[in-house]
Structures are given as structure tokens and as C-alpha cells.
Structure 1
Amino acid sequence: MTNSSLSSRGYAALVAVLMLVVTGLLPLSPLATSTHAAESAQAGGEASSASSTAVTAPTSFGKNAEPIPDERPAAEVSHEADQDVLRYWTHERMAAAKPLDADAADDSAQEQPVAAENGGDSFSSTDPAGTTEPVAPAADGGATPPARAKGKLFFNGYDPDNAYCSASVLNTPSKSVIVTAAHCVYSSANGWAKDAVFVPDYDRTQADPDPVGVWTVRSMRTSDGWRADQTDYSNDVAYATLNNGGDANKPVVDVVGGHGLAWGGSYVFQATIFGYPTNKTTPDGRGTIYSCVRTTEESEGKVRTEGCDFGKGASGGPWLYRYDEATGLGYVRSVTALWRSQGGVNRGPYFTEAVKTMLDATAGD
């Protein structure tokens, strides 16, 4: 609007407002006030995004998803494997399980193509803001066994058929925590996943598809942001705490090792991504784990790769920073959340310090 288009009454009103500004009766910059409010709201949002909720893992055998208090006494926590759940998950049921991801993880967002697809740099400006350290499996009196800190998360509860996602083990004081995608364990429509078990290095091409055994899930934890809005995949992260288990009846980290966690810093880093994508056929991704190395970039507040083309079943698989093939360990810096078959695009949540805060909260789970 030009000055000539102002009515005389509008012009007078404008002059009056300017006079009030000059005399100090109105703030000099209304934008300053709104910016402060926005900053306050943003600070509150960041604080609330660190809040999370944990429940005891529900089963079909009489155990409900009960909220876990923030400071539950250690005496109330049982580490014994759930025998009913173990008996349920036969090799035949595992082989017949289907990927959870039907529509939830299909990514229809229109994005710009990746500018470059080269090896990338794992160091310098790509470093995260903070990390926890990985740990190798316990030597147990002999040579240190190879790490097997990635595998399949099986569960039953969203659909009539059994389902699965991908997951990986983290090094924590409890030696019992895995990380996966939140949509693998919770939805507002269906609640928490039931009868959950984790199988490290699941491989159906082998005579024994669970080479070190099966661990039952004791508890599950997601951010309150995800529970409030399951369309916000920037919050698509969940932790599950396992009972003692496996063939040796031990904490999972002692048997398979545990990755570190990385958060903050650049959106750009070299990621080694693992998962069980059912769209892969040679070999069959339903039964054999796949890996792919790509350099990530920022996409709508998340991290993104193009070309891995990890489809249904890969959700929850780790995006490992500084992955060491010799040790089989690295730092989980994101997990697979979304897939768009056009261009083979995958996206995952950008790990902020809130993800580390949520991990710390698993100490009482």
C-alpha cells in the first residue's frame, strides 16, 4: 500500500501511533516482544522434548503396560526373562513375522535431491556435540568375541500377525538397553507393542537364526513429543530395556557389546546404516541384515540419505557414526524412520541432547 492510498482518517491514525512511539507509550519494536515470546516458547519446547514416558513391557500373558515412576527402587526391578514370551517366539513365528511399516514409514515429502554422494568426512566439522563410548563384549576368560550389537526386534500387538523392526544395543550402566524407532513400539491408536523380544544378528540363512539367543523386553520408553504427535518423525526414537537373557542368561551388552550414542553437531556425517529391509531380495532382507554407507545431509530438521533404499522392516536400524568394521562397533547418531522409494531416500531423526537425556532416564527402567 502506498501513502497516496491512505485515507485521511487512516493517515491521522498512523501519525498518532508514531507520536506514541516517540513519547515511549508504545514499545519501539513490537517484533522484539514477539521474538522474546517465541524464544521463550522455543526454550519451553526444547525442555518438554526431553521429557519421556516409560512403561513395563506388555504381553499377551497377563502383563499390562504400567507407567514406571521416575525413581523406581531397584528392588522392584526383576531382570528375569519372561518365559511365556520366550516360549511363544519359536523360529517358525520369527520367520513368518512381517515388517511393521505399512504406511507409517512411507515418506511422501517432496525434497530436493542430494547435492553430492561421496564418501564424506567422519571428522572435523561433522563431529557431534557429545558422545558416550561403545564397549566390546565381555571376554569371559578367553578371547573377546565379535560384537553383535544390531539385530531384529520382534513383537505382536499392532496387528493380528506378528511384526518386526530393526534395533541395536547401546552401552549403558544397566548393560540392557536397545534403541529403535518410536513407531515400532508405540502408537496412540494401538498403544504399546506386546510380547517384544530382541534377537542380535538374526540371520535366517543360518542353521541357528539366533546365534547368541533371545532377550525379552522389560520396559519401553519414548519421548512425550512422539506420544503427542506421531506425524513428527523428528521424535521417532525409542529405547527398550531388556531382561537378562540369551543362551548365557546375561545382560545383552556382556554378550554382544554395545554401541556408543552421538548427538548434536553437524547434520552432515558418514553413516553406516544397518537394517532388515524387505525390499531387498539378494539375499532376502526379511532374514538377513543389510548395511549401506552414505553421507547424510539436513532435511526438514532430520537427517537424510539417498540411494540406500532401505524399505519396510528397516525402521529402527542404527545410523552409525565412525563405525569400525574390525570391532563391529560405532556411535548411533540416528535410526531409520522414513523411506521414499523414489530415489531410495531414507530419513531419520536428528539426535539432540534430549535423546541423551531420555537415554539417561532408562537407568530406572
Structure 2
Amino acid sequence: MSLSTPLLAAAPLLAGLLGPALIGAAPGPLQADRPTAAPVHATEHTEIVEHVAARTAAEQRRVLDYWTRERMARALPIGLLDLVTTGDGLLSGLTGRVGLRATPDLAGASKLPEPRRQAAARPATNTVGSRWAGGGAVARTTGRVFLTVGGADFVCSASTIRSANRDVVVTAGHCVKDGAGEWAANWTFVPGYGTGGAEPYGRYAARRMFVAEPWSRESNDDYDVAMVALATSRGRHVADVVGAQEIAFNTPRGGQAFGFGYPADPPYDGGDLVYCAGRLTADPYGQTRDQGLSCDMTAGSSGGPWMTTFDAATGKGTITSLSSFKYSDDPRTMYGPYFGDAVKTLFSTAERA
């Protein structure tokens, strides 16, 4: 495992890890009656690891019914996650380290500004966090993810992407699998999630999940990406209902990007789609190949899409990264993995599922 731990779900950020540590944490229990992960053949050098989630219509209905409004609202803070999980994943590897149960104050969360609930009529090209009020495609294609980790419930963010099967969403690897540990259960995507828990486009259960082998084997932050093939809802594919964003690989580094997600820790509450915008920069510590974006979004935004060539008028863009982690000494910069050949293979595998 690298020195990093990803930024998860409705959970306080962690601090106090060794060196220029990262803040956040990771999910994911395997459903007891589900098959274990199995390697999937890939045409590229990076193997893809698959998990079958809710296979049948009955299983998918059970997952969707699990998420009552009460369960959605009662997500545990990540500081309690080690009390309810066991195994050899990222979390168990951190157990006993200084700062595992550190308060959000240590990660700088209490020093962040109040949520920007009054968004400008014209979206800003430079912001560390504003409520998205521009509507358009991004308000439909971005959504919240609800998942269960060792009996506790958490949230992440994700986005639909244009795919052959019209079922694929992209999110962070740690929102699907706890590195070398277990897979998430009860995985459900709610596109266009709105204030007060609105679900204008319904909810979709995961049927198959995919991560790159370096993430599954050693929690390598360069590969903190997952693709999830969703089941249909009332016979309709998610992309046919909400549309989908484009995705691109091996794009030039740097440049302008817009990042979206549903941060749930203070000063945010998970009820609004929030965005950051600015220029991408390299990892100053050289620990990863990831790029950084000035962004004060908190836990819950993990897996939210980063788009280049983004058109604020239509809400359409090209996804080239996503929210993954923060360093504990810099809570104002979010880092996202570079979408190279491995992510391309991951996507091509998922869109055939």
C-alpha cells in the first residue's frame, strides 16, 4: 500500500499520517452470498478485476429497497469505520496509526468557509467550491452513490459516461473496493440527487463492478478508479434517462478543469451538487502521477467527475479524472488520477458487461 488513503463518503477527513500524508479513507464489504473477485482478460497490460454485485432482479430490488430515507440520512463518520470492519484492506492497515480517529479540525475542515449557497448566474472558471446552479447535463449525469461498508452506510459521488451498453458510471476505486480488502455492498447510484433527498431520475443498483488490478492488489493511488455497470430501472438504461458525459484517455496534462461532487462533511451537507474550477497541477510530493485541483470539497465528493472542455451553458464536458484524495497538510487541494491506458482498458471492459 502506498502512503495514501483515499477520500471517502460521508466521513470526516483524517490527519496525522506519516510524512506528507493523505487524508480520507476507503470502503467496501463483499456481500456474503456473492462470488469473490475474478481476473478479467484485458487487451492492455493492466488486468481488470471484476465483482458481480446484484445479479438478479430480486437481488437488485433488495439493494434498492435497503436504502430507506432513514438509512441515507444516518451515514456513520469514517472515524468509526474501524470499529465495524475487519480484514486486510486500507482501513485495517491504518488501524493503530496516529490520527485514525482525528477530528475534522485536524484536517482543516473547521477552517473552511461556509457553503456557497448563492451561486453566480454565470459559473466561475476559478472557484474552490460553489453550489452548481447552472443546470444542464451535469446536473443529471452526476449523482450520489450509496454503499455499505462492514455493516455501516456511506456515500460517494459518480457520473454516467457514454458507453456501448448505456449502463456505465465512473467513480473512485475506493468507493467500490477497499484496496486489497473487500468489495462494497448495496451499491446504488442516484443521478441528479437533489436537496431534501430528491431522486428525480430514480435509483440504479450495481450489477457488475470493475477496478484495475494495481488498485485491487496494493491500493495504488494512481489507479483509484472504478467502473460500475448498472442494472436497468423500470427497463430503462441510465444513459437513456439522464444522458451521459464523454470520457477521454491520455489527454495532455494541466489545463482547465471543472470538478463536481456531493461533499457531505462540514461545511457541506451532501444535499447540493458542488463544483470546483481551476488549473490542474502536478503532485508536488511526487508520490503519485495524479493532478491537483484547488478545491475545498470534503468527504462525500469522492468519485465525482473532473471535466475538461466543459461547456457551462450545456453542462456537457469530457471526463478525464475524478476526486480521489487530499494531503493532510493541504486540505484546499484535491487530487485525481490520470486517465491513461489502464483506465481505458477498465472502461472498455465495463462497457461490454
Q: Does 1:211 align with 2:211?
A: no
Superposed counterparts of 1:60-99, under 5 Å: 82-98=60-76
Residue identity in the other structure for 1:359: F
| Structure 1 spans left out of the alignment, 5+ residues | 1-45, 64-77, 109-117, 121-143
Please point out which of 230, 234, 240 is paired with 1:242.
230
SS at match of 2:51: strand
Superposed counterparts of 1:129-278, under 5 Å: 148-156=140-148, 158-188=149-179, 190-203=181-194, 205-206=195-196, 209-230=198-219, 232-245=220-233, 249-278=235-264
Residue identity in the other structure for 2:161: L
Distance 2:137 2:217 in 1: 42
RMSD: 3.0
Distance 1:306 1:222 in 2: 23
Distance 1:296 1:146 in 2: 20
Does the CA-based 8 Å contact 2:295-2:334 persist in structure 1? yes
SS at match of 1:250: coil
Aligned residue pairs: how many? 260
| Structure 2 spans left out of the alignment, 5+ residues | 1-42, 82-89, 100-105, 107-123, 127-135
Match in the other structure for 2:38: none
Distance 1:201 1:98 in 2: 23
Structure 1 pair 348–238 and aligned structure 2 pair: CA distance change class (3 A):
same
Q: Does 1:331 align with 2:318?
A: yes
Does the CA-based 8 Å contact 1:201-1:211 persist in structure 2? yes
**TM-score between the two structures when normalised by the length of structure 2:** 0.66
Residue identity in the other structure for 1:318: P
SS at match of 2:215: helix
Comparing 333-342 with 255-264, greater Cα deviation is found at 333-342
SS at match of 2:308: strand
Structure with a larger share of its residues in helix = 1
Distance 1:305 1:146 in 2: 21
Does the CA-based 8 Å contact 2:160-2:239 persist in structure 1? yes
Match in the other structure for 1:48: 45
SS at match of 2:339: coil
Q: Does 1:291 align with 2:275?
A: yes
Does the CA-based 8 Å contact 2:137-2:314 persist in structure 1? no
1:278 Cα offset (Å): 2.6
Structure 1 pair 98–266 and aligned structure 2 pair: CA distance change class (3 A):
farther
Indicate the structure (1 or 2) with the bigger Cα radius of gyration.
1
CA shift digits 1:255-299 (9 cap, x unpaired): 111111111132202111011223442xx3322221110110222
SS at match of 1:292: strand
Match in the other structure for 1:303: 290
Distance 1:360 1:240 in 2: 12
Does the CA-based 8 Å contact 1:270-1:321 persist in structure 2? yes
